[in-house]
Amino acid sequence: MDFFAEVEKICHFHLIQEPIPLSGGFLHRMYRLQTDRGDFALKRLNGAIMKRSAAMGNFARAEGLESVLEARGLPILPALHLNGQKMQRAGGEYFYLFDYYAGKSLRQNEVTPRHCERVGGALAAIHAIDQRGEARDSAPISIDWELYLEKTKRAGMEIHLMLAECLPLIQKSQEMGNRARKRLPPLSAICHNDMDCKNVLWAGDDFRIIDLECLDYSQPQMELFELALCWAGYEESRLDFSLFRAFLRGYAAGGGEAPKDWETLYSCNIGRLEWLEYNVKRALGLEGALEEKEMGIRQVKQTLAQIRFYDGIREELLAQCAQISW
């Protein structure tokens, strides 16, 4: 049976026109469904991700935390329950169904201090739900970059020279980040873990936080620092410090606790290395579908630019952080 035909059967509605692809995600595919029961959004989960041994456990844990946020009345867009569960399977693929929210994610040039304050306040509310004075056990990042350098060279890929040029900086970041993470205060809280601009939809001044599949207990100060950077333009290799300060101001107004060691947080911000590795694998055809190779190449280029930018802005960024009063 066709995927969407089976979706209709599971969801007890009928499509009144063809599903409309929605843009935004780098891993999963989104569609707007116009049905005889109203409009819905459907997230068709990435097949390669779902084959990972830890995938189902990770999704189940995130679903439980999503229900906690939903019960607190936080501005999220939760997946709908169908037949007693959130995750559904159709045609051998997995999906989530959502009420359709007529909002849009902001481009970086559309982000204002007010947006940053609102999202910073929402993040503080999420972190306040269940803070624990314990460190989250996490294995150090131990990516063999020399291996990927050799693989991209053998494949004759254009990203090989880019990786080679950036390799010393990548390896230094990995080593410094692993050391710095051991210095973090023992603290964990519910974290979104991907709440950048693309994952918040706005309808005027109203907003909903989406893509909740990464919800987990993580170090909240790290998430605060990383998201303040993202909302200030870091993903486009630039930084508007007025937006950075506004995000932190919103977090403080929401009752969020102030970090005390900004330099450690700076060094800890190495999650982009894992994203880089994932996209090198996609570019090589080792991860995801074959049609994802071009997206992998684009993301490798963008992530390498971020790594170089982040290294160059270290002193100015830490000076700005030192001036922030809570």
Written as six digits, the tokens of 37 are 């029961």
- Output the pLDDT for position 188: 95
- Output the pLDDT for position 44: 96
- Output the pLDDT for position 325: 83
Neighbour tally for 229: CB within 10 Å? 23
Written as six digits, the tokens of 267 are 């060094």
Label residue 73 exposed, middle or buried (CB < 10 Å: 0-12, 13-18, 19+).
Answer: exposed
- Output the pLDDT for position 48: 85
Residue segments in the chain with a per-residue pLDDT below the cut of 50: none
* Cβ atoms 43, 63 nearer than 8 A: no
pTM score: 0.90
- Output the pLDDT for position 257: 92
Domains of the chain: 3-99 (3.30.200.20)
pLDDT digits (tens, 9 = 90+) for 145-162: 999 999 999 999 999 999
* Cβ atoms 218, 193 nearer than 8 A: yes
